[in-house]
């Protein structure tokens, strides 16, 4: 697209929709790379590439081996992998992150962000969560963590030098100073943090100092970004990172949510990655308008490949968009037995169980349709929409019947059931706004395909119960396939965005 044709044009925001929180970004030459938190899901830390900050393509997951990522079977949802920071330094990519369920803070390196990434360098002397990396002119590496405190480290060995010392904790009285990022820009070191908690009070503040360890002077306009107390369609804005484009312009990636429905408003996709322009005024960053339509950057756009609607499981390895709960042993999940089918062997009996065998993808659209062809001849399995162990809906086939289940908090119910003809069957869910926009954020319609090709809806369920405002936690919806008993075979999975108001 030429610069002239882009004038006055806009692009959709979020730039990475769906459950992609805590974005961290870096630039290497003309290329941008971005990572997000992944919590209880394996593989961990999705890695994205872009040439224009607008169009992002997932190129892998940084933590795709058990030697890198241990998520204990008994860990709770919304634990696991928190808040990575990605940096490019000395011709290498550096990734620092917290595993709150196992190893604490860890550091990984790669020459290619698509992988492979190294096994972890442990950081036992680095406390807390949300670690950041920055190097000064003499090569000293500074690690800053939520709180906000800082310690010098050797990133090659994990050794720390001296005890952590406090820096600057944001606006006086503000809740949860976290997500620090330290930058050398001009004659100052800037310390960017999130504060106010990750709910509606979330915001971004900044301070500056002459050295990486301070003292730091707060920006008089703090918070430099927040949507708290406003009716804006994007809320919970925070956990930001800054990046400079080759043309000298500055940009901010950050998380936000899109609540819908009546009070209090429910967001169901999780915290998503948004983009906002940044100008510098009197030595301080000023964040431009953050809205669902973003003014197009001044450079040509580089749309990547369109994500396929359908996966026929014809490759030996699953695409990196597919995620599982805590682990994915090949003996329980394979596309090789038989070839061209996703075969899942049951461990946990339902989505209520921490060890359920589940393969899903993030819901990325407010309205969408997902369908899969299951052969339940050797067991039971189905199609689920999951938020956590206590909040999920599913349609399950096996033993001559198809059944819709709902788990909401401590309650589990069989919602509807029908006899099922022998053989493979298409199961589906359609997610769309409810008839009354003052009620839930959406409605989820579960059903199956009859032998004559018509689709029969068995149940329509209220989407608010699969929202963060109801369930709590830090994640978003994931739609996928699971095995309940025996072995379930899936021939294909189809995910299709739908128009929405």
Cβ-proximal residues to 248 (8 Å cutoff; 6+ apart), any chain: none
Count Cβ atoms within 10 A of the Cβ of residue 331 and give its class: 0-12 exposed, 13-18 middle, 19 or more buried: exposed
Give the angle 314-325-472 at the CA atoms, nearest 5°.
130
Per DSSP bridges, beta strands 132-135 and 31-35 are unpaired
Active site residues: 22, 178
Count Cβ atoms within 10 A of the Cβ of residue 309 and give its class: 0-12 exposed, 13-18 middle, 19 or more buried: exposed
Number of helices (H) and strands (E) in the chain: give both, helices first. Answer: 2, 38
Report how far residue 225's alpha carbon sits from residue 192's, in angstroms, rounded to the nearest whole number: 11
Cα distances (Å, whole numbers) of residue 256 to 9, 15, 19, 28, 428 = 22, 11, 10, 26, 29
Report how far residue 215's alpha carbon sits from residue 196's, in angstroms, rounded to the nearest whole number: 22
| E-strand stretches of 53-91 | 57-63, 81-89
Report how far residue 102's alpha carbon sits from residue 308's, in angstroms, rounded to the nearest whole number: 35
Q: Is 479 helix (H, G, I), strand (E, B) or coil?
A: strand
338 preceded by cis ω (within 30°)?
yes
Mapping DSSP onto H, E and C, the string for 113-146 reads CCCCCCCCEECCCCCCCCCEEEECCCCCEEEEEC
Q: Is 3 helix (H, G, I), strand (E, B) or coil?
A: helix
Report how far residue 288's alpha carbon sits from residue 280's, in angstroms, rounded to the nearest whole number: 11
Per DSSP bridges, beta strands 443-449 and 41-42 are unpaired
Report how far residue 432's alpha carbon sits from residue 461's, in angstroms, rounded to the nearest whole number: 11
Query: Cα 372 to chain center, whole Å?
Result: 23
How many Cα atoms sit within 13 Å of 58 on the Cβ side?
22
Contact 359, 324 (CB under 8 A): yes
């Amino acid at each position: 697209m030429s610069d002239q044709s882009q004038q006055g044009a806009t692009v959709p925001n979020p730039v990475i929709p769906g459950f992609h929180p805590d974005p961290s970004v870096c630039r290497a030459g003309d290329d941008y790379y971005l990572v997000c938190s992944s919590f209880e899901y394996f593989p961990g830390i999705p890695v994205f590439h872009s040439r224009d900050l607008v169009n992002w393509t997932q190129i892998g997951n940084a933590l795709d081996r058990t030697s890198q990522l241990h998520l204990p079977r008994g860990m709770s949802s919304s634990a696991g992998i928190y808040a990575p920071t990605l940096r490019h330094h000395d011709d290498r990519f550096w990734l620092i992150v917290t595993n709150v369920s196992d190893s604490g803070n860890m550091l990984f390196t790669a020459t290619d962000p698509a992988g492979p990434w190294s096994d972890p360098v442990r950081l036992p002397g680095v406390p807390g969560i949300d670690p950041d990396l920055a190097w000064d002119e003499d090569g000293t590496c500074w690690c800053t963590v939520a709180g906000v405190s800082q310690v010098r480290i050797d990133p090659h060995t994990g050794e720390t030098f001296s005890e952590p010392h406090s820096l600057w904790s944001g606006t006086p009285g503000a809740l949860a100073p976290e997500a620090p990022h330290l930058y050398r820009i001009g004659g100052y070191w800037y310390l960017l943090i999130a504060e106010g908690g990750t709910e509606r009070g979330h915001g971004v503040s900044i301070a500056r100092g002459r050295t990486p360890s301070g003292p730091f002077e707060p920006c008089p306009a703090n918070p430099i970004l927040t949507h708290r107390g406003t009716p804006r369609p994007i809320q919970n804005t925070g956990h930001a990172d800054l990046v400079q484009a080759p043309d000298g312009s500055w940009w901010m990636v950050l998380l936000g949510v899109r609540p819908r429905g009546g009070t209090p408003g429910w967001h169901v996709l999780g915290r998503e990655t948004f983009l906002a322009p940044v100008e510098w005024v009197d030595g301080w960053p000023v964040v431009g308008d953050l809205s669902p339509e973003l003014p197009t950057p001044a450079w040509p756009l580089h749309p990547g490949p369109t994500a396929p609607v359908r996966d026929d499981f014809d490759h030996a390895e699953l695409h990196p968009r597919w995620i599982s709960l805590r682990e994915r042993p090949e003996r329980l999940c394979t596309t090789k037995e038989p070839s061209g089918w996703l075969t899942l062997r049951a461990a946990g009996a339902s989505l209520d169980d921490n060890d359920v065998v589940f393969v899903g993808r993030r819901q990325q659209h407010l309205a969408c349709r997902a369908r899969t062809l299951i052969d339940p001849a050797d067991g039971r399995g189905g199609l689920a929409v999951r938020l956590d162990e206590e909040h999920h809906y599913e349609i399950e086939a096996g033993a001559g019947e198809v059944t819709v289940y709902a788990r909401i908090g401590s309650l589990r119910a069989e919602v509807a059931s029908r006899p099922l003809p022998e053989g493979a069957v298409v199961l589906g869910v359609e997610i769309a706004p409810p008839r009354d926009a003052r009620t839930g954020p959406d409605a989820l319609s579960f059903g199956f395909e009859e032998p004559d090709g018509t689709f029969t809806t068995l149940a329509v369920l209220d989407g608010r119960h699969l929202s963060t405002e109801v369930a709590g936690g830090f994640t978003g919806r994931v739609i996928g396939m699971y095995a309940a008993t025996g072995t379930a075979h899936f021939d294909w999975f189809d995910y299709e965005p739908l128009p929405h108001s």
